[in-house]
Amino acid sequence: MCVGHDAELPALPPGPQTAVSERLILEAADGNRFNALAADPTEPTDVAVLVLPDVRGLFKFYEDLACRFAAEGHRSIAIDYFGRTAGTEERDSEFPYMDHVSQTTSQGLNADIAAAVAYLRADNPDIRIYSVGFCFGGNISWGAATQKDHALAGAIGFYGRPDADRPAGDGPIWERCHLIESPVLALFGGDDPGIPPENIARFDAALEDAGVPHEVATYAGAPHSFFDRSQGEFSAESLDAWNRMMEFIR
């Protein structure tokens, strides 16, 4: 199960900068309007981060994460997936997100990602953009790296399922590693029944065979969605995952 609607980021060291955030409605090339939260640092680096939420879509946990990346100096944006089927109205914890996940498509998700990438590049066409996704978003992050037009500098995925057809219609990511255009960081919980060790090993091998620069880390005993303050016994693992992300984008 992914993090709850009221989840909080794990305890992380404070960033050196102040982040200023703004809720937006972006428009994709096909006319879809969708929610996003942009976070800007006081002194931007040459790196930006695209935050791709779990199956719930955009909510406070991922908005806070975008702000946390901005506190490191990285312009960030977190996006929603469900503008086409749920509109842009505010949603509560009862939102039936799985009804909307099943209606997402690769074409639609990549159109929305393209709009978010264009937003991040508006002031600096040469900025290096890294995607960071969780669960459903982990798959979307790796899949976005197969799209040349996004021109990602790297793709990070927390506990995505390499055997799942996500985005729908594209097929499992381990069958598409030859299409990946950027380095990959993959982070997994070692006690995640939905992602057994043999699937992680197969994904790792597929990345290796495709010649994709990559790092795969599995945290022994950690469950799915361990990157969450309520999983306090895995705070060290969460901090290590954060530090790996910071090193990856450096």
* Residue 47 main-chain phi, psi, to 5 deg: -120, 140
Q: What is the pLDDT of residues 55-68, one digit of tens each?
A: 999 999 999 999 99
**Contact between 159 and 188 (Cβ < 8 Å):** yes
Percent of the chain's residues with pLDDT above 90: 94
The angle formed by the CA atoms of residues 89, 110 and 182, to the nearest 5 degrees, is 130
Give all strands (DSSP E) within the chain, no chain letters. 19-27, 33-41, 47-52, 75-79, 128-134, 154-158, 184-189, 214-219
* 84 pLDDT more than 60: yes
Could you tell me the pLDDT band of residue 3, with boundaries at 50, 70 and 90? confident
Percent of the chain's residues with pLDDT above 70: 100
Residue range 30-58: mean pLDDT, rounded = 97
Q: What is the pLDDT of residues 89-111, one digit of tens each?
A: 999 999 999 999 999 999 999 99
Is the whole-model pTM more than 0.95? yes
**Contact between 81 and 161 (Cβ < 8 Å):** no
Could you tell me the pLDDT band of residue 4, with boundaries at 50, 70 and 90? confident
pLDDT at position 2: 84
What are the residue ranges spanned by the domains of the chain? 19-249
Residue range 81-89: mean pLDDT, rounded = 97
pLDDT at position 168: 87
- Label residues 137-172 b or e (16+ Cβ within 10 Å = b): bbbbbbbbbbbeebebbbbbbbbbbbbbebbbebeb
Residue range 62-89: mean pLDDT, rounded = 98
CATH 3.40.50.1820: does it fit domain 19-249? yes
* 113 pLDDT more than 90: yes
* 1 pLDDT more than 70: no
Cis peptide preceding 167, ω within 30 of 0: yes
Q: What is the pLDDT of residues 127-174, one digit of tens each?
A: 999 999 999 999 999 999 999 999 999 999 999 999 999 888 899 999
* 246 pLDDT more than 80: yes
Q: What is the pLDDT of residues 161-216, one digit of tens each?
A: 999 998 888 999 999 999 999 999 999 999 999 999 999 999 999 999 999 999 99
